[in-house]
Structure 1
Amino acid sequence: MEYLLFYIYYVIALSGVLSIKQEHRQVVYKEHDIVKRQSAPPDNETTITDNHDYYTSRIISDPDGAYWNELEGHTKHTLSNDHHLRYSFVTVSFQFPFYGHLMNRFAITTQGFLYMSNFTHPDLDWTFTHYIAPLMGNFDTIGNDSHILYKDDGHSFVVEWRNVKLNDQSESTAYTYQATLFENGTILLAYKSVPDTNISGQEWPVKIGISDAYYYDRVYYFGGYIRYIVKYHDIKLNVTDLSDNTAVVLSPLPTCNQARTCEDCTSLNIGFNCSFQGFETLDKCMIPPTTTRMPQTTTAAPWKQPQSDAVRSSESSDSAVVAIPIAIFVVIILVLLGVWIYYARTHPNTRSGIWLIENSPRRIKKKCLRYLFQELIQRR
């Protein structure tokens, strides 16, 4: 009877392994063709302009607060009161174009940035890419006057980190700054109080700017996947450029994926070599893939573009093709294991029979208990 139970447990365990075939077992990070800040700004300019291919940036002195959006009396986010909650997803009332991809759902974090993707994973490095960071750091809503506020007026979405402090610098004074996302894709970062730009990045990276990536999956054992996240662009601004009453305006430049027809795609003159890619029923204007590990059907940010039923059906068929041979293989293994157990039980004098007797579930249980008991005695 005990061998039968052992066999059943073994079958259940293998079934559990097969059930994870859709899980992402591992996340791998890569960098690819990153465009960084092109030149250091002159010290005597109050407005600094840079071109980053996907966006232009302007750092502006704002002594009159013209770029500041007063949120007194507006909605306080639950992150303000829950010190164990580090992020929370929100849905805005309009489609915001981020690197040309429309989205209306992203996460607000207590660390001073927005996470611009729906993909989450226990091992995910949120600071690697997919962010809009007015001032990313080891911040938290410490104190009764520390809050995260937001406002959605249907055409723009404002998030304010008010009087947030650094966790690893308890004596630090409070920081107050905002990020505003406009319907046309413009991003405004406004700073009301930046008491110190010498912020430690030991506990959490310190970043100002934006970043995006694409990902692709590779089949892993038992039908699972390894997800490769490839950062293709980021803008990193200097923390030392910030001070009280400053603003950063990131204005989007035209991108390939804004074209809807082949003619519009090939006639674009925007600094990118756009190519119209037809994938069954999914036609897109995009930059041709330049890495051999990137599938030809992968776009710059495929999770932000809804897939057609035909594409979903094709992917389901591919999963079935992978799963069926694995299922057959496991069934064969289980049958052979059952035959071997039956043979060993009916022929106790053979090597298999002797091994099965010496390693019966009851004996293994006794060995484990004896080992644990000895460990407890030694620790005492």
Structure 2
Amino acid sequence: MLLCPYHPPGREPASPDRRRLPEDNHSYYVSRIYGPGDARLRGLWVDMAAANRSQVKIHGILSNTHRQASRIVLSFDFPFYGHLLRQVTIATGGFIFMGDVIHRMLTATQYVAPLMANFNPSFSRNSTVQYLDNGTVFVVQWDKVYLQGKEDMGSFTFQAALHSTGRIVFGYKEIPVPVLQISATQHPVKAGLSDAFMILNPSPDVPESRRRTIYEYHRVELDTSKITNMSAVEFTPLPTCLQHQSCEMCVTSELTFNCSWCHVLQR
């Protein structure tokens, strides 16, 4: 179990190349939002209290710290943007980091974030960060957690479920205030998905060393005004090029992106 403190910036500057995509179709996923009156909602929330207790673990350290993250090994391969992952990193700040390399800026990209904010589970003995793994779904629940310095707003209870099929579900049980009222001064506030890839480049200062550069290629930003008590968001993965095993399969496929041959890369 790897523990890592993270130090997110305050409000992140807007990037000109980050554009908001349509809410229901995000190239890699289709998302659907369910409100309190939707019949589908009941089947999306995972009742941790009713689950097999041997499959549910309360993370003792994360439940008693602030701005901490812990690496967890899954019992199955989880397809994230088409890539198979066996390890994820749970953060106290309401998100799961999906990257391989742990660093101090976990909030920037490569995340599954039902509600990323400045939560401090150590404020209350009733606050816990718990997770369940039953072989087909991995669920993380931030249970009765409070915002650092804004404890009077009340406690939040929500979860993220990673299904072995690649489906992702955000469930919201207790959201005491509108998310738009949560300050992003000390910690980013966002909900959605993000993925990136990393390239090692020679460092200009030390030629024999390598510098990691992370390129975010896709992000889904949810409309946080729709995050309320008893609501949920379901992400269904779309086919990706990674499922094709040859160049011919890519360029002839009608299920994925518009692939073509690159004469420069010869790929």
Q: TM-score range by the shorter chain?
A: 0.7 to 0.9
Structure with the higher helix share, 1 or 2 = 1
**CA distances 1:242-289 after superposition (whole Å, capped 9, x unpaired):** 11110100111011111112332222113513357xxxxxxxxxxx69
Kindly state the Cα deviation for residue 79 of structure 1 after the two structures are TM-superposed.
3.3
SS of the residue corresponding to residue 44 of structure 2 reads: coil
Q: Alignment partner for residue 135 of structure 2, among 154, 174, 192? A: 154
Letter in 1 for 2:85: M
Report how many residues are paired. 241
Q: In the alignment, is residue 67 of structure 1 matched against residue 44 of structure 2?
A: yes
Q: Alignment partner for residue 241 of structure 2, among 251, 256, 262? A: 256
Q: In the alignment, is the contact (CA less than 8 A) between 1:34 and 1:232 conserved in 2? A: no
Structure with the higher strand share, 1 or 2 = 2
**1:305-320 equivalences in 2 (<5 Å):** none
**Counterpart in the other structure of 2:255:** 270
Distance 2:82 2:18 in 1: 17
**CA distances 1:29-77 after superposition (whole Å, capped 9, x unpaired):** x9796452326xxxxxxxxxx1011111100124563321111253101
Q: In the alignment, is residue 37 of structure 1 matched against residue 14 of structure 2?
A: no
Letter in 1 for 2:117: G
Distance 2:73 2:16 in 1: 30
SS of the residue corresponding to residue 251 of structure 2 reads: helix
**Counterpart in the other structure of 2:197:** 214
Letter in 2 for 1:200: S
SS of the residue corresponding to residue 65 of structure 1 reads: helix
- The structure having more radius of gyration, on CA atoms, is 1
Name the CA shift for 1:34/1:271 in 2 (closer, same or farther; >3 Å): farther
Q: TM-score, normalised by structure 1?
A: 0.59
Letter in 2 for 1:57: S
Distance 1:35 1:184 in 2: 28
**Counterpart in the other structure of 1:244:** 229
**Counterpart in the other structure of 2:25:** 51
Letter in 1 for 2:88: F
Q: Alignment partner for residue 203 of structure 1, among 176, 186, 190? A: 186
Greater RCO, CA 8 A, separation 6+: 2
Letter in 2 for 1:54: Y
Distance 2:91 2:36 in 1: 26
Q: TM-score, normalised by structure 2?
A: 0.83
RMSD between aligned residues: 2.5
**Counterpart in the other structure of 1:323:** none
SS of the residue corresponding to residue 151 of structure 2 reads: coil
**CA distances 1:130-183 after superposition (whole Å, capped 9, x unpaired):** 000000000121211100111111111011000011003121200000100011
Letter in 1 for 2:200: D
Q: In the alignment, is the contact (CA less than 8 A) between 2:29 and 2:235 conserved in 1? A: yes
Name the CA shift for 1:188/1:137 in 2 (closer, same or farther; >3 Å): same
SS of the residue corresponding to residue 42 of structure 2 reads: coil
Q: In the alignment, is residue 101 of structure 1 matched against residue 101 of structure 2?
A: no
